[in-house]
Structure 1
Amino acid sequence: MSEPIWFPSDNYKHGSHIEAMLRNLNLDSYEALYAFSIQQPEAFWEATLQLLGIEWFVPYRQVLDVSQGPQWPQWFVGGQLNLAYNTLHHARTRPHDPALVWEGEDGAVVRLSYGELEAAVAQAAHALKEMGIGKGDRVGLFLPMLPETAISALAVAQIGAIFVPIFSGYAAEAAATRLQDAEARLIITADGFYRRGSRVKLLDNARAAAALSPSVEKLLVVRRFGNEELAPNEVAWDQIVPQQPSRAAYEPMGSMDPFMLIYTSGTTGKPKGTVHYHVGFPIKAAQDMAHLFDLQKHETLFWFTDMGWMMGPWAILGALTIGGTVLLYEGAPDYPDAGRLWAICQRHGVTHLGLSPTLVRALMPLGDEHVLKHNLSRLRMLGSTGEPWNLEPYLWFFKTVGQRRIPIINYSGGTEIGGGILGCTAWRPIKPMGFNTAVPGIHAEVLDSTGQPVRDEVGELVVMAPWPGQTKGFWKAPERYLDTYWNRFENIWVHGDWAILDLEGHWIIQGRSDDTLKIAGKRVGPAEYESAAVEHPAVKEAAAIGIPHPVKGESAVVFVVLRSGQTPHSDLAQAISETIANRLGKALKPDKILFVPDLPKTRNAKVMRRVIRAAYLGQNPGDLSALENPQAVEAIQKSSS
Structure 2
Amino acid sequence: MAKFTFVKNNQTTNLHTLKEQQMKTIRTFEDYREAYDHSTRDPEGFWEEIAQEYQWQQPWDKVLDWNFDEPSIKWYSGAKLNITENMLDRHLKERGNKLALIWEPNDPKEKFVRLTYKELHEQVCRFANVLKKNGVSKGDRVCIYMPMIPELAVAVIACARIGAVHSVVFAGFSAHALADRINDAQCKLVITSDGLFRGAKEIPVKRVVDEALESCECVERVIVKERVGWLPNMVEDRDVWWDDEIKEADRDCPPEPMDAEDMLFILYTSGSTGKPKGVVHTCGGYMVYTGYTFRNVFDYRESDIYWCTADIGWITGHSYIVYGPLLNGATTMMFEGVPTWPDPGRFWQVVDKYGVNQFYTAPTAIRSLMAHKIDHVLSYSLDSLRVIGSVGEPINAEAWNWYHIHVGKERCPLVDTWWQTETGGVMISGIGNATPLKPTFAGYPMPGVQPVLLDGDGNEIQEDDVEGYLAIKHPWPSMLRTTYGDHERCQKTYFSAFKGYYFTGDGARRDKDGMYRIIGRVDDVINVSGHRFGTAEIENAINQNEKVVESAVVGYPHPIKGQGIYAYVICQDGGADEEILKAEITETVVEEIGKIARPEKIQFVRGLPKTRSGKIMRRILRKVAEGEISNLGDTSTLLDPKVVEEIISGADHVETIDH
Q: Same fold (TM over 0.5)?
A: yes
- Residue 223 of structure 1 contacts residue 237 of structure 1 at CA under 8 Å; is this kept in 2? yes
State the match for 1:453 in structure 2: 461
CA distance in 2, matches of 1:445, 1:114: 41
Q: 2:447 aligns with which of 416, 425, 440?
A: 440
Cα shift readout 1:192-220 (whole Å, capped 9, x = no counterpart): 11112232111100111122211011110
Is residue 2:367 matched to residue 1:361?
A: yes
Q: Which amino acid aligns with 1:35?
A: D
Is residue 2:224 matched to residue 1:224?
A: no
Correspondences of 1:310-389 after superposition (within 5 Å): 310-315=315-320, 316-389=322-395
State the match for 1:62 in structure 2: 62
CA distance in 2, matches of 1:117, 1:617: 51
- Once superposed, which parts of structure 1, at least 4 consecutive aligned residues long, lie more than 4 Å away? 67-70, 557-562, 617-627, 636-641
CA distance in 2, matches of 1:558, 1:110: 39
- Residue 383 of structure 1 contacts residue 411 of structure 1 at CA under 8 Å; is this kept in 2? yes
Q: 1:474 aligns with which of 483, 506, 527?
A: 483
Q: Which amino acid aligns with 1:314?
A: S
- Residue 195 of structure 2 contacts residue 206 of structure 2 at CA under 8 Å; is this kept in 1? yes
Question: Between the two proteins, what is the percent identity of the paired residues?
Answer: 32
| Deviation of 1:304 (Å) | 1.4
State the match for 1:154 in structure 2: 157
What SS does the corresponding residue of 1:135 show, helix, strand or coil?
Answer: coil
CA distance in 1, matches of 2:395, 2:516: 13
Distance change >3 Å, CA 626–CA 34, structure 1 → 2: farther
| Deviation of 1:423 (Å) | 0.9
What SS does the corresponding residue of 2:563 show, helix, strand or coil?
Answer: coil
Q: Which amino acid aligns with 2:467?
A: V
Q: Which amino acid aligns with 1:216?
A: V
Is residue 2:266 matched to residue 1:261?
A: yes
| Deviation of 1:104 (Å) | 1.1
CA distance in 1, matches of 2:349, 2:30: 41
State the match for 2:419 in structure 1: 413
- Residue 73 of structure 1 contacts residue 466 of structure 1 at CA under 8 Å; is this kept in 2? yes
Distance change >3 Å, CA 105–CA 623, structure 1 → 2: closer
| Deviation of 1:560 (Å) | 6.7
Which runs of 5 or more residues in structure 1 are unaligned?
A: 1-14, 517-524, 527-556, 563-598, 600-604
CA distance in 1, matches of 2:286, 2:563: 25
Is residue 2:299 matched to residue 1:298?
A: no
CA distance in 1, matches of 2:302, 2:177: 38
Cα shift readout 1:33-72 (whole Å, capped 9, x = no counterpart): 212112211111122223xx31001111211122686821
| Deviation of 1:272 (Å) | 0.3
| Deviation of 1:18 (Å) | 3.0
What SS does the corresponding residue of 2:223 show, helix, strand or coil?
Answer: strand
What SS does the corresponding residue of 1:413 show, helix, strand or coil?
Answer: coil
State the match for 1:607 in structure 2: 563
State the match for 1:488 in structure 2: 497
What SS does the corresponding residue of 1:112 show, helix, strand or coil?
Answer: strand
- Residue 122 of structure 1 contacts residue 245 of structure 1 at CA under 8 Å; is this kept in 2? yes
TM-score (norm 1): 0.79
Count of equivalent residues? 539
- Residue 195 of structure 2 contacts residue 230 of structure 2 at CA under 8 Å; is this kept in 1? no
Report the RMSD for the aligned CA atoms in angstroms: 2.8
- Residue 260 of structure 2 contacts residue 282 of structure 2 at CA under 8 Å; is this kept in 1? yes
State the match for 2:98 in structure 1: 97
| Deviation of 1:303 (Å) | 1.3
- Residue 197 of structure 2 contacts residue 337 of structure 2 at CA under 8 Å; is this kept in 1? yes
| Deviation of 1:629 (Å) | 3.8
State the match for 1:596 in structure 2: none
Most deviating of 266-275 and 62-71: 62-71
Is residue 2:518 matched to residue 1:509?
A: yes
| Deviation of 1:377 (Å) | 1.3
CA distance in 2, matches of 1:334, 1:68: 44
| Deviation of 1:503 (Å) | 2.0
State the match for 1:185 in structure 2: 188
Q: Which amino acid aligns with 2:501?
A: I
Q: Which amino acid aligns with 1:214?
A: E
State the match for 1:37 in structure 2: 39
| Deviation of 1:617 (Å) | 6.9
State the match for 2:121 in structure 1: 118
CA distance in 1, matches of 2:338, 2:30: 45
- Residue 470 of structure 2 contacts residue 508 of structure 2 at CA under 8 Å; is this kept in 1? yes
Is residue 2:245 matched to residue 1:250?
A: no
Q: Which amino acid aligns with 1:607?
A: Q
Cα shift readout 1:502-554 (whole Å, capped 9, x = no counterpart): 121111111111379xxxxxxxx99xxxxxxxxxxxxxxxxxxxxxxxxxxxx
Cα shift readout 1:144-185 (whole Å, capped 9, x = no counterpart): 111000100000010010000101111110111000000001
CA distance in 1, matches of 2:604, 2:293: 40
| Deviation of 1:489 (Å) | 2.1
Q: 1:128 aligns with which of 119, 128, 131?
A: 131
CA distance in 2, matches of 1:161, 1:618: 45
Cα shift readout 1:590-621 (whole Å, capped 9, x = no counterpart): xxxxxxxxx8xxxxx5636xx53xx2375999
CA distance in 2, matches of 1:254, 1:560: 44
Cα shift readout 1:267-319 (whole Å, capped 9, x = no counterpart): 22200000111113333222211222222332222111112210111121000
What SS does the corresponding residue of 1:420 show, helix, strand or coil?
Answer: coil
| Deviation of 1:561 (Å) | 5.9
- Residue 68 of structure 2 contacts residue 500 of structure 2 at CA under 8 Å; is this kept in 1? no
What SS does the corresponding residue of 1:453 show, helix, strand or coil?
Answer: coil
- Residue 126 of structure 1 contacts residue 248 of structure 1 at CA under 8 Å; is this kept in 2? yes
CA distance in 2, matches of 1:409, 1:336: 28
Is residue 2:599 matched to residue 1:632?
A: yes
| Deviation of 1:341 (Å) | 1.1
Cα shift readout 1:205-248 (whole Å, capped 9, x = no counterpart): 01111222110111100101245253311110110113212121
Q: Which amino acid aligns with 1:231?
A: V
CA distance in 2, matches of 1:109, 1:319: 19
Q: 1:47 aligns with which of 46, 49, 52?
A: 49
CA distance in 2, matches of 1:251, 1:627: 36
Distance change >3 Å, CA 28–CA 558, structure 1 → 2: closer
Distance change >3 Å, CA 39–CA 445, structure 1 → 2: same
Distance change >3 Å, CA 500–CA 627, structure 1 → 2: farther
Distance change >3 Å, CA 253–CA 334, structure 1 → 2: same
Is residue 2:157 matched to residue 1:205?
A: no
- Residue 282 of structure 1 contacts residue 314 of structure 1 at CA under 8 Å; is this kept in 2? no
- Residue 429 of structure 2 contacts residue 445 of structure 2 at CA under 8 Å; is this kept in 1? yes
